Amino acid sequence: MKLGKLEKVNLRDQWRNEAIDFTPWLAQEENINILSEAISMDLEVVSQEESVGPFRADILCKDGTDKYVLIENQIELTDHKHLGQIITYAAGLEAVSIIWIASRFTDEHRAAIDWLNHITQENFNFFGIEIELYKIGDSTAAPMFNVVAKPNDWSKIVKRSAEPGKFTETDTFRLQYWTAMKEFIESHGRQSYRLQNPYAQHWTNVSLGRSGVHLAATVSKKYGWIRIELVFDGPSAKEQYNLIKDQYGLDAAGQFSEKLEWFEVPGTKACSAFIKKTADTTDISKWSEQHEWFRVNLEKFYTYFSPKIKAL
């Protein structure tokens, strides 16, 4: 069997400028997802070139628990300037996780990231990531993110977040439900959307590639229903909600077997459009049926609304 040979591509051949070329590329949903998988963290882009006092951070994200994640890009060898910037930005933004991406880390800067992880509290996480590009023959170059520095026992931290040991009975139920759903959906082939890692909460989110709007799958053990909703919760929530409702409300109603309802949360900016189904989530024998409903309808929601939300 003849195999191709991997050829390393110079980063500057692909991205001439960090701010103009690399940062916008990384902020695209499909590319931020590659980084998410490399560090086992769900990332959703909030903004690019976020102001931090007199400085500007490259990319600001939120993770699956709605906490801030800062990404600082450098497609060169790491230097002291960028090390100072990530510390300054982290303090200014109160970021919980800080990701420093470079073409190569010096031993000193790798040690600095390890030191920061050692001296800071457990809820602060620093990552050092080297990015490389490879191609085979005349193929399109493909990115590879290599984790060279990460929080102490990061794999154990990620694993522990999925263990119900210290949870209440309700927490344990929620975590088990979403874990089973993620496994069910991923076992049924590739979907257009990407589920976040399971957490002990009554919802699990799906990014639409635009900050302030996302999909959510939710369950109510108490009231006996499951629901999928298009959630608007950013600073322009009302405006975006009304725009989508006015332009697509009637057409969207015909996309789903259940009634599509539009709802504005009283006293807040939050709005949503959702479908709901009666379901006994306490009956584990019914989970696969419920997860299939989520799988099919999340695909419908994502396929229908994603391009419209990205065009806002």
Give tens-digit pLDDT for 203-216: 898 888 777 889 99
The CATH number given to whatever domain includes residue 249 is 3.30.1460
Q: Are residues 232 and 288 located together in one domain of the fold?
A: yes
For the chain, percent of residues with pLDDT exceeding 90: 48
Residue 179 covered by a domain: yes
Share of the chain above pLDDT 70, in %: 93
In a domain, 81, yes or no: yes
The 10s digit of each residue's pLDDT in 210-241 is 778 899 999 998 889 999 999 998 888 899 99
pTM exceeds 0.75:
no
Domain count within the chain? 2
How high is the pLDDT of residue 109?
95
What rounded mean pLDDT belongs to the chain?
Answer: 87
Please tell me whether residues 175 and 86 are part of one structural domain.
no
Q: Are residues 204 and 218 in the same domain?
A: yes
Query: Would you place residue 157 in the very low, low, confident or very high pLDDT band (cuts 50, 70, 90)?
Result: low
Taking the alpha carbons of 167, 173, 174, 175 in that order, is the dihedral positive or negative?
positive
Same domain, 217 and 292: yes
Q: Give the pLDDT score at 236.
A: 87
1 has a pLDDT exceeding 90: no
Instruction: Give the model's pLDDT for residue 100.
Output: 96
More confident residue, 29 or 289: 289
Residues 106 and 224 in one domain: no
Do 176 and 141 fall within a single domain?
no
* Rounded CA separation 62/46 (Å): 7
Q: Are residues 182 and 274 in the same domain?
A: yes
Is residue 276 one of the residues assigned to a domain?
yes
- CB-CB contact of 85 with 114 (8 Å): no
**What are the residue ranges of helices labelled H in 149-286?**
154-160, 169-186, 237-253
Q: How confident is the model at residue 26 (pLDDT cuts 50, 70, 90)?
A: very high
The verdict on residue 99 lying in a domain is yes
More confident: 165 or 136? 136
Same domain, 98 and 45: yes
**For residue 76, how far is the Cα from the chain centroid?**
26
pLDDT category at 156 given cuts 50, 70, 90 is very low
- CB distance 150 to 41 below 8 Å: no
Q: Within this chain, do residues 173 and 251 fall inside the same structural domain, yes or no?
A: yes
63 within domain boundaries: yes
The burial of 166, by beta-carbon neighbours within 10 Å (0-12 exposed, 13-18 middle, 19 or more buried), is given as: exposed
- Among 48-57, 119-128, 178-187, whose mean pLDDT is lowest? 48-57
Looking at 159, 191, 222, the residue that finishes a domain is 159
DSSP bridge pairs for 228: 217, 275
- Segment 121-135 mean pLDDT: 88
Q: What are phi and psi of 67, to 5 degrees?
A: -100, 155
Residue that is last in its domain, among 129, 159, 189: 159
- Which range of residues forms the domain containing residue 197? 162-310
Report the range of poorest mean pLDDT among 136-140, 154-158, 205-209, 244-248.
154-158
* 1 domain residue, yes or no: no
Look-up: residue for tokens 């919980």? 96
Q: Specify if 58 maps to a domain.
A: yes
Instruction: Specify whether 191 is located in the same domain as 152.
Output: no
Please report the pLDDT score of residue 154 as a whole number: 63
Q: Are residues 21 and 115 in the same domain?
A: yes
Of 112, 133, 159, which marks where a domain is finished? 159
Instruction: For residues 167 and 155, state if they share a domain.
Output: no
Domain at 136, CATH number:
3.40.1350.10
Burial (Cβ within 10 Å: 0-12, 13-18, ≥19) of residue 163: exposed
pLDDT of amino acid 296: 95
Residue 120 is assigned to a structural domain of this protein: yes
108: phi > 0 → left, psi -120 to 50 → alpha, else beta; which? alpha
